[in-house]
Amino acid sequence: MSKIGDTTLLIDLIALEHNYWFLKSRLAQETKFLAVVKAFAYGSDMITIAKKMERLGIDYFAVAYVKEGVLLRNAGIKSPILVLHPQPVNFGELIHHSLEPSIYSPKNLKLFLEIAKDKKQIDYPIHVKFNTGLNRLGFWENDVDFIVEHLRDRKELKVVSVFSHLAASEDASEKPFSLTQIETFKKISEELNQKLGYAPFRHMLNTSGIINYPEAQFEMVRSGIGLYGYGNDKAIDAQLKPVAILKTIISQIHKIEPNESVGYNRAYKSDGYKITATLPLGHADGISRQYGNQKGHVLIKGRKAPIIGNVCMDMIMIDITDIDCKEGDEVVVFGQNQSAEDFAESANTISYEILTAISPRVKRVIINS
C-alpha cells in the first residue's frame, strides 16, 4: 500500500468484491442482488463502486435521490437504478435518465401517472413501497385497492417490484416484530398480485435481514452497509472487510507541561508532562465535535492515541506520550485494525454516520483496482 502524504480515504475494491461474494453466498442462486450506493456509496466513491459492482454482475442499484441516479447515468452506468425517495419536482428528469421511482404515497402515484402520460410512456417501471412498521415512507396495507384502481386500464406504468423495509433486522430482541412485518408484507404482496393480475418481484431484506432472515429473501435483497464491510454484528463484521480506510499524518509534535491546555476553550488540561501530535483533519472533514476529550482514538504503529481537546475545523490533537513516532508518520483513523464501527462506538454513534460524514475535500485513492 503506497505511503500517504496527507489525509486520504483509501477505497479497497478487493474488499468490496469480497463482501459482495460473502453476502451472495448467503442467498439462493436465483435471488437478485441490489447494491445501495446512495450518499456517495456510503461516503466512499459512488461512481467507482458502481462500476466495480456492475462488472461483478449486480442486478440493481439503489440511490436516495434523483440527482444521485443522474450522476451514475452520466458516468455510464447501464444497470437498473431504483430511486428510493424521489421528489415530484424531479419526476421528469427521472424519466429522462431512465431511473425507476419508488412510489410510496397516493399523491406521488397520481403525480407520476400524469408525468408519464405527458411524456407518452408505456409500461414505465415503478416500485411500490409499503409501510409495514418502520413508519417512514410507504403506502398502508389498505391502499392496495387505491393503487390497483389507479393503474387498471392505464398503459403508462408497470409495477416491476413491491417492497418494504424492516425496522430492526439487526436486533434479536425485536425478532417477533420483524416476523410480523414479514408476514404483513407477504399478505400485502399476495393481495396486490391478485388484483393487478401479475406478480412484481418482491424485496424486503437489508444487510442485517440477509443475515438474520434468509427465509424472507423473496426475489431480491438490498445491501448497503454490508458491501462496505459492516454487518451490524461483530461475528459477521469479522468475516467482512472494510472498504474505506481513513488515514492521515502527524503534522506537528508538541511537548506539554503540567496544567497546560490544548485546543479551543482549554478543553484539555494536562495532568503531567505529555507529548501531543496535531493531525490535519477535523470536523470539516467529518470528524465531528462529539469526538475529542478522550472520546475516540486513532492508531499509530498499531497503538492507540486518544483524541484530546475539542475537535477543530481542520485539526485534531492526540496524546502520543507513550508512542515512539515522529512528524510525517502515518495515522490510521479507521479501517485497519480499527473499524469504523469501533471508532464510532467511542462517541456513541454508528458506522453509517462516520462513513457518510467524510468530506468531499478528503482525497480518495482507489487501491486493489
Task: Encode pLDDT of 238-262 as tens digits.
Answer: 999 999 999 999 999 999 999 999 9
Residues 203 and 332 in one domain: no
Model pLDDT for residues 258-304, shown as the tens digit of each residue: 999 999 999 999 999 999 999 999 999 999 999 988 899 999 999 99
- Is residue 267 a contact partner of residue 276, using CB atoms and an 8 Å limit? no
Q: Give the dihedral sign, CA 356/361/363/366.
A: positive
Give whole-number Cα distances, 131 to 98, 143, 145, 273, in Å: 25, 10, 15, 58
200 with 304, same domain: the answer is no
Whether 163 and 294 share a structural domain:
no
| Burial degree of 324 (CB within 10 A; 0-12, 13-18, 19+) | exposed
pLDDT > 90: percent of the chain: 96
Q: Do 287 and 224 have their domain in common?
A: no
> Cα(158)–Cα(35) distance, rounded to whole angstroms?
22
Picking from 228, 260, 295, the residue at the C-terminal end of a domain is 228
Residue 336 has pLDDT above 90, yes or no: no
- Let me know if 107 is exposed, middle or buried by CB neighbors in 10 A (0-12, 13-18, 19+): exposed
> Residue 277 has which C-alpha cell?
501530535
Same domain? 67 vs 35: yes
CA angle 84, 217, 146 (to 5 degrees): 50
Rounded average pLDDT over 25-41: 98
pLDDT at position 2 is 59
Interacting residues of 153 by C-beta distance below 8 A, sequence separation 6+: none
Measured CA to CA, the distance from residue 17 to residue 35 in angstroms comes to 12
Mean pLDDT of 190-207: 97
User: How many other C-beta atoms can be found within 10 angstroms of the C-beta atom of residue 170?
Assistant: 18
Helix 66-74 to helix 46-56 angle (10° resolution) is 70
pLDDT for the residue numbered 287: 96
- Residue 219 pLDDT more than 70? yes
45-89, pLDDT tens digit by residue? Answer: 999 999 999 999 999 999 999 999 999 999 999 999 999 999 999
C-alpha to C-alpha distance for 238 and 225, rounded to whole angstroms: 14
285 domain-assigned? yes
* 247 beta partners: 8, 332
Annotated catalytic residues are 38, 264
- Domain co-membership, 161 together with 251: no
Task: Indicate the residue type of 294.
Answer: Q
Residue 152 burial (CB count, 10 A)? 10
Based on the fold, state whether residues 201 and 58 are members of the same structural domain.
yes
pLDDT band at residue 339 under the 50/70/90 scheme: very high
Give yes or no for residue 27 having a pLDDT over 70.
yes
Tell me which amino acid residue 319 is: D
Q: Count Cα neighbours of 180 within 13 Å in the Cβ-side half-sphere.
A: 10
Range of the domain at 326: 244-367
Q: Give the distance from CA 132 to its chain's centroid.
A: 22
Judged by phi (left if over 0) then psi (alpha if -120 to 50, else beta), residue 23 lies in alpha
* Residue with grid cell 431484506, as numbered in its chain: 205
Mean pLDDT of the chain: 96
Q: Are residues 34 and 205 in contact, defined by beta-carbon separation less than 8 angstroms?
A: no
CATH number at residue 192: 3.20.20.10
Cα–Cα distance for residue pair 269/320, rounded to 1 Å: 15
> Cell digits for 240?
467482512
In a domain, 136, yes or no: yes
Q: Is residue 343 part of a domain?
A: yes
Axis crossing angle, helix 144-151 with helix 175-196, rounded to the nearest 10: 30
The structure's pTM equals 0.95
Q: Which helix (H) or strand (E) holds 252?
A: strand 252-256
Residue 122: alpha-carbon gap to chain centroid: 33
Would strands 252-256 and 274-279 be described as parallel, antiparallel, or unpaired? antiparallel
The reported pLDDT for the residue numbered 369 is 84
pLDDT at 144 exceeding the cut of 70: yes
pLDDT(1) > 60? no
Q: Is residue 222 domain-shared with residue 248, that is, in the same domain?
A: no
Q: CA 25, CA 335: separation in Å to the nearest integer? A: 24
Residue 233 belongs to some domain of the structure: no
One domain, residues 73 and 144:
yes
Do 219 and 181 lie in one domain? The reply is: yes
Can you list the alpha helix ranges (DSSP code H) found in the chain? 13-24, 38-43, 46-56, 66-74, 91-96, 106-118, 144-151, 175-196, 207-212, 234-237, 340-345, 351-357
Asked if 296 and 148 sit in the same domain, the reply is no
pLDDT tens per residue across span 155-168: 999 999 999 999 99
Residues in the chain: 369
